[in-house]
Structure 1
Amino acid sequence: MTSIGLYEALIASFFILTFCFLFNKKPLSSLPIKKTLKSYPWNWPVFGMLPGVLVRLHRIYDCSVEVLENSNLTFQFKGPWFSGMDILATVDPANIHYILSSKFSNYIKGPEFQEIFEAYGDGIINSDSELWRSLRKSSQVIFSHQKYQNFSTSTTRSKLKDGLLPLLSHFADEEMVLDLQDVFQRLMFDITFIFITGSDPGSLSIEMPEVEFAKALDDVGEAIVYRHITPRFLWKLQKGFGIGTEKKMMKANAVLDRVCAKYISAKREEIRSQGITHNSDEESEEDLLTSHIKLDTSKYELLNPEDDKFLRDFTVGFMAAGRDSTACTLTWFFWILSENPNVLTKILQEINENVAKTRSDVQDKNNLVYLHAALSESMRLYPPIPFERKSPIKPDVLPSGHKVKSNINIMIFLYAMGRMKDVWGEDAAEFKPERWISETGGLRHEPSYKFLSFNAGPRTCLGKNLAMDLMKTVIVEILQAYEINVVHGQKIEPKPGLILHMKHGLKVTVAKKYSTLE
């Protein structure tokens, strides 16, 4: 299935086989697969549609496309009886605009979301209402401050110069195959960790060491996925007994707590020793943890920088958000380039015309219209966050006419949305950067409730521009110096999870370019 583990697979199998014996008495091979895939998931007594999801978990994204395409963009999933797993799935832009913008105050993360994602604590990922507004406002101020912008720019340049490019050079010299997905995850883990703490964990090196904080984030992500596909009482039971995936979750949480405590303590001591005050403007650069410790509490009454848990939740949340989404996008992007050599040629030509070989600053990258379009098109088809989850406070009726009860789970499937002909046209499944370019040669704007990779409405991603600039910088640096050749014959498919990772990684070889672009 996925990496949810043997114990969890046995539970899933028990559910399905018990159903077959009690209600159908037919083997799995005789279940109505064609009906499930081409029309609607089969709604069994007691178990609802969950068995069909479990046996198709390996291709859940393609199934979501088929089901939503055949149900007018919105579909009601029925979970097992009394499990609280009923879901309204939608990719209808009108519904999405209504939920994320027009009626934003009625659609929150909610207590069930916070319970499932409890490892992220009370940070910006989980928070709602006034706490979220305070976190959002403070982060917006910090992100826009020149100190952090200087720090993020210098960090990215340094990590590319001293980390990524030498690593690619080594693999090119040794003529070795490398997993580009692993490389990008390590790159973004190091960059994000430096952004937050000012310290380099050094996961991006020739030795490819295992870093316990990174592994803990992966283990937490696996457990959260498992909680999404398992009745609450089952994972709660595992948590109570400390077994299965919940045991892994507890161990991972302990690692996150310990590592965060170490860096928070060190940062507090560093600030004390340097005599930095809340009003100091002397530093030209500043990491996020320092900025959060120095928060002016008179402006953000609900935030408490004196509380180590507040800083821990901020650190874990931003690490999870900053590492995976960017690394995921870069991985799919380089694979797509290998499948579309004509697009690669156009990008190389644009880089050659607009970016000096020895200088690739932000001003240069603003001229890379076709590269920006290709990145957007890549995220349309392979969104790093494949689904968004919301829950209404009060009962409501969506623009599609679907009634929603309070606290029901609403899922917005970004992966399926990017492939909907009703949303993107008959060529929705095709990779066409040109759809993002206007007749005058500039970038074409698409509403955020249609292109949702950076979220929409008040929760639109604060780091959108930073992320786009960072990805452009990485892509330009690599393409100017190296040829990335994808190894033929490998199976490329998305892994079910919170992030749209490639299930088997992306194996590539690297070759140096010994002359400038012509």
Structure 2
Amino acid sequence: MSTIILLFFSAILSILLLTSIANYTRAKRLIFLLRNASQAHDLVTRSLKLSGGTFVFKIPFTHCLITSDPQNAHHVFSKRHSDFPKGPEFKDILEALGEGIFNSDGEFGLSQRRILHSLFNSPPFERVLMTTLRRKLESGLLPVLDRAASAAAEEVIDLQDVFKRFMFDSICTTVLGFDPNYLTVDLLPDLPYAEAYDDMEEAVFYRHIMPEFWWKLQRWLRVGEERKLHEAWEKFDGFLYERVKLKRQSFNRKTEHKETEHGEFDLLTAFMRAAEDGEEEGGEIRELGKSDKLMRDTAFNLIAAGRDTVTVTLVWLLWLVASNPEVEKKILEEIKANLGGNRWRFFGVEELNKLVYLHGAVCEALRLYPPVPFEHRTAAETETLPSGHTVRKNGRVLFSIYSMGRMEEIWGGDWMVFRPERWLSPDGSKNVHIPSYKFMTFAAGPRACLGKKITFVHAKQVASAVLCNYKVEVVEGHRVSPAVSIVLFMKDGLNVRVSRRK
């Protein structure tokens, strides 16, 4: 019945649009966009290059200003950041994230940032981060790759799926103090709540490109992508609320203190304590610290940031390195020079900081394939940007981070080349700083990503372990392209064969 209703509304909408001369071009533009959603990022990049870095995109019932201009980014994210909040439309699109740090503006958002910034820089967090990473590498990722390398015909594995599982286990342990064991050496189990999370990301992408009234109609009717989102959301929430309930019970009994089931610190318990015990004096967050809903939102935001950012970084990095043997050779030489021998071992944070060429390779992967390919803000008042374009009050500004990494004006004529050297000093001894308004992968200004350091620690630790121990070869004929998702995964995964290094 709901499908019939949707078809009826679709027919009416089509007639209204196609009989309106004013809307005819916009309707064609929308149809073209939906048919070519898998190429959306490259189509936007092409349009930005032709328009000088900024253009206004209009489809029926919606329009926004799209830009890759670094000066516009500096203006919106740094110079006038308070005049460009995320706005209600952003929260609507990403409503599954609730009142977590990604969606929150104003003092409430700043309170969350202060708490998380303090926790991320605490010694207990660094200890659990490194302990968890080492444990999951040695008991999960490396044994799985060993098994694949030992198979008679060198087993084909989807490296993206392996990294997703690895990071889901790692981030759940760090945030919730609970290891789902999504990656094990004997089998790759099905976890409905973990798979539901992927379905949610795909569905949310369409909210970004569809007119607001259309996806809200689908949500009301529970059809199409909105039905998939609703079902996946319920599954993932079931998992999150169960973990929050257990943490709350333990916290209220005051038997856990700073310990998890592994005898270690976890972020959710620490966040509960910081919010409830008055580390943030007064304010809304102190009361909401008693709310399971805020704890659910916090956990969701941290899991989303941790799993997706590192997984996407690793999968594109390993593909780029496998496609560029000279880069691979230089990375291996640097790793061996810092290991003090040919046998791999787990690096400490200070040792990871010495891997400057690998750091440059990670930056290059993030430049070309940013985990979150776009950011958007809403103008609180009518404002003229440095590019000369005017944004009306409540108007939407979308920054294509994917396109910014491909602009000749920013990166030079060799922007398409995977070249870690662009991130090194002339003598190659240290990494150079590139302003965040040019390299927008971690956003910029007061709302820049708090997890930048965590991303680099994970990416360099895992990449060094994989590359030092195994030769990774992409299966011949395997096509690599971005997925239709708010996160820049590979559409068909990354099918590879791995063999042990001699």
Summarize the alignment of residues 268-283 of structure 1 with structure 2, pairs less than 5 Å apart: 268-273=248-253, 275-276=255-256
2:351 aligned with 1:364: yes
Q: Cα distance, 1:273 vs. partner? A: 4.9
Residue 46 of structure 2 aligns with an amino acid whose one-letter code is E
**Structure 1 23/490 Cα, relative in aligned 2: closer, same or farther at 3 Å?**
farther
Paired residue for 1:469, among 439, 445, 457? 457
**Structure 1 222/150 Cα, relative in aligned 2: closer, same or farther at 3 Å?**
same
CA contact (8 A) 2:202 2:484 kept: no
**Identity in percent:** 38
2:225 aligned with 1:251: no
Partner-residue secondary structure (3-state), 1:49: helix
Partner of 1:400: 387
Distance in 2 between residues matched to 1:179 and 1:18, nearest whole Å: 45
Distance in 2 between residues matched to 1:214 and 1:11, nearest whole Å: 35
Distance in 2 between residues matched to 1:241 and 1:10, nearest whole Å: 11
CA contact (8 A) 2:17 2:23 kept: no
Distance in 2 between residues matched to 1:447 and 1:399, nearest whole Å: 17
Partner of 1:36: none
Partner of 1:115: 92
CA contact (8 A) 1:15 1:51 kept: no
Q: Cα distance, 1:253 vs. partner? A: 2.1
Q: Cα distance, 1:491 vs. partner? A: 1.0
Instruction: Return the TM-score normalized by structure 1.
Output: 0.88
Partner of 1:195: 174
**CA offsets per residue over residues 429-485 of structure 1, 9 Å max, x none?**
111111111113211110000001111111111111111011110011111211111
Distance in 1 between residues matched to 2:378 and 2:498, nearest whole Å: 46
Q: CA RMSD in A?
A: 2.6
Residue 503 of structure 1 aligns with an amino acid whose one-letter code is K
Partner of 1:33: none
Instruction: Return the TM-score normalized by structure 2.
Output: 0.91
Distance in 2 between residues matched to 1:477 and 1:249, nearest whole Å: 36
Paired residue for 2:216, among 236, 239, 244? 236
Any stretches of 5+ residues in structure 2 without a counterpart?
none
2:117 aligned with 1:140: yes
Q: Cα distance, 1:272 vs. partner? A: 4.4
Partner of 2:284: 302
2:473 aligned with 1:485: yes
Partner of 2:57: 77
Partner-residue secondary structure (3-state), 1:360: coil
Q: Cα distance, 1:241 vs. partner? A: 2.2
**CA offsets per residue over residues 154-206 of structure 1, 9 Å max, x none?**
00000000000011111111221000011111111111111111111111124
**CA offsets per residue over residues 343-380 of structure 1, 9 Å max, x none?**
00000000000124334222221111100001101111
> Structure 1 stretch 412-421 or stretch 437-446: which is displaced more?
437-446
**Structure 1 16/271 Cα, relative in aligned 2: closer, same or farther at 3 Å?**
closer
CA contact (8 A) 1:256 1:316 kept: no
Any stretches of 5+ residues in structure 1 without a counterpart?
1-5, 25-41
Partner of 1:225: 205
Q: Cα distance, 1:246 vs. partner? A: 1.7
Partner of 1:512: 500
Distance in 1 between residues matched to 2:316 and 2:25, nearest whole Å: 40
Partner-residue secondary structure (3-state), 2:442: coil
Distance in 2 between residues matched to 1:20 and 1:104, nearest whole Å: 37
Paired residue for 1:458, among 441, 446, 452? 446
CA contact (8 A) 2:18 2:24 kept: no
Distance in 1 between residues matched to 2:89 and 2:297, nearest whole Å: 18
**Structure 1 15/275 Cα, relative in aligned 2: closer, same or farther at 3 Å?**
same
**Structure 1 180/470 Cα, relative in aligned 2: closer, same or farther at 3 Å?**
same
**CA offsets per residue over residues 457-516 of structure 1, 9 Å max, x none?**
1111111111101111001111121111111111111113211111111100111125xx
Partner of 2:313: 329
Partner of 1:172: 149
2:298 aligned with 1:318: no
**CA offsets per residue over residues 78-116 of structure 1, 9 Å max, x none?**
120xx2x20100000000000000000011110011011
Q: Cα distance, 1:48 vs. partner? A: 6.7
CA contact (8 A) 1:212 1:255 kept: yes
CA contact (8 A) 2:309 2:455 kept: no
Distance in 2 between residues matched to 1:12 and 1:429, nearest whole Å: 44
Distance in 1 between residues matched to 2:96 and 2:456, nearest whole Å: 27
**Structure 1 158/79 Cα, relative in aligned 2: closer, same or farther at 3 Å?**
same
Distance in 2 between residues matched to 1:376 and 1:10, nearest whole Å: 46
**CA offsets per residue over residues 248-279 of structure 1, 9 Å max, x none?**
2222222232211211121223334553559x
**Structure 1 309/511 Cα, relative in aligned 2: closer, same or farther at 3 Å?**
same
Residue 97 of structure 2 aligns with an amino acid whose one-letter code is Y
**Structure 1 178/359 Cα, relative in aligned 2: closer, same or farther at 3 Å?**
closer
Distance in 2 between residues matched to 1:489 and 1:318, nearest whole Å: 36
Q: Cα distance, 1:63 vs. partner? A: 1.1
Summarize the alignment of residues 86-125 of structure 1 with structure 2, pairs less than 5 Å apart: 86-125=63-102
Residue 349 of structure 1 aligns with an amino acid whose one-letter code is E
> Structure 1 stretch 469-478 or stretch 294-303: which is displaced more?
294-303
